[in-house]
Amino acid sequence: MLIASGKTIKIAVGTSTPATVYTTTTDGSSNFSFTFSSLTATTSLVLWVDATTSIRAALFTMATSSSNSISGLDLYQNRLVLAAQSTSTLTTTDLAFYDGDDDSDIRYTANGGVLTVAAGQELHLASGTTFAPSGTLTLHGNAGSGTDGSLHLTGSSTYRTAYPTAIAGDLLASTTATIDNTSVLSMTASTTGKSISAPSSSSLGNLSFTGSGSWSFATNATTTSLLINAGASVTAPADNLTVQGLFNNDGTFTHNSGTTTMQSIREGILDYLAGRDVSGDGSGTGSNSIYSFALSGTTLYVGKGANATACSQVAGSAIGCELQVYDVSSSTNPIYVAGRDIS
């Protein structure tokens, strides 16, 4: 929602230290303007709605020359908008020149490369904007719904980071946006109904659901790893979810009739700790093919080849169980718990 008429708008201009601040008011059509001659190339600018707790809105941009006129700087309620005027990449360090430490109506702080956005706000990347945090990014939330704690990439915007990102709301990206995450992306909500939509060509990186809320993938997605902590509930996309590394589920995972592909690739030498024969113990009798493993917490599920022998619930006699379940709470003493036939 655009800002209504009669609201006080301020702009901080980063041509001096401290920054110079100007004030204006929105007109009957919600328009506003500032006129000053102090701009230089790469001058930092932050605009915000001042002196109201019911309307929070801010926008950061950078000038590209000393003579250009900048238009289309729209303020939207409950959003921190990053709007680049060129192909240059915006960083947290750029935002640090004037933030919530200077005026509490600005609902973010950027200190030491760390960007923190207050609850109730969305970090909104305007189309064509590339944002690369200089450190960790935390979007606080659970104060409400909608924009609360969300990251929103519109149009051809790009979010590129090598630092941890924590999102308490939704992750929303247009089909033409780009997410390039080589670190941890933590979804921290403790409320339900959160959504994840990401371009199929992008990797969400090491995606971790650390909150106790619920999330649904609205689009196909690719992750480097996928971790679902206890208490978290995740619904996969209806088509394809690709996990290129570790997939660990200690919460609730709903397949949604889609396909989840695991492409785990690891390098290095593994140390043997303990094992069991296909019969469920260490007796050394019988042979069969092992097709799949799945680990949930300390429970290991083993999928085996077909066997005509009836499934037994007794270790040492379970060679006929196409599905075997083991307690692996001890890494040196896996215990056969139960099994089932293919029928």
In whole numbers, what is the pLDDT of the chain averaged over residues? 89
Residues 6+ apart with CB under 8 A from 134: 91, 92, 93, 113, 115, 163
Could you tell me the sign of the dihedral formed by the alpha carbons of 110, 112, 113, 115, in that order?
A: negative
Q: Could you give the strand order of the β-sheet that contains 171-173, starting from the edge strand earlier in sequence?
A: 20-25, 8-13, 44-49, 57-62, 79-82, 122-125, 150-153, 171-173, 194-197, 214-217, 233-235, 252-254
* Cα R_g (the chain), whole angstroms: 26
Name the strand (E) or helix (H) holding 184: strand 184-187
CA atoms within 13 A on the CB side of 197: 12
DSSP symbols for 167-183: ESS-EEE-TT-EEEE-S
Say which DSSP state 93 is in. H
**Residue-level pLDDT at 60:** 97
**Residue-level pLDDT at 136:** 98
Angle at 123 between CA 110 and CA 7, to 5 degrees: 90
Mean pLDDT, contiguous 10-residue spans, the chain (343 residues): 80 86 89 83 92 88 79 91 92 95 96 96 97 97 81 96 97 96 96 91 93 95 94 95 91 94 68 76 71 85 88 89 91 90 84
CA atoms within 13 A on the CB side of 331: 3
**In the chain, alpha helices (H):** 92-95
| Contact in structure between 182 and 164 (CB atoms under 8 Å) | no
CA atoms within 13 A on the CB side of 75: 26
Reported pTM: 0.79
**Residue-level pLDDT at 66:** 66
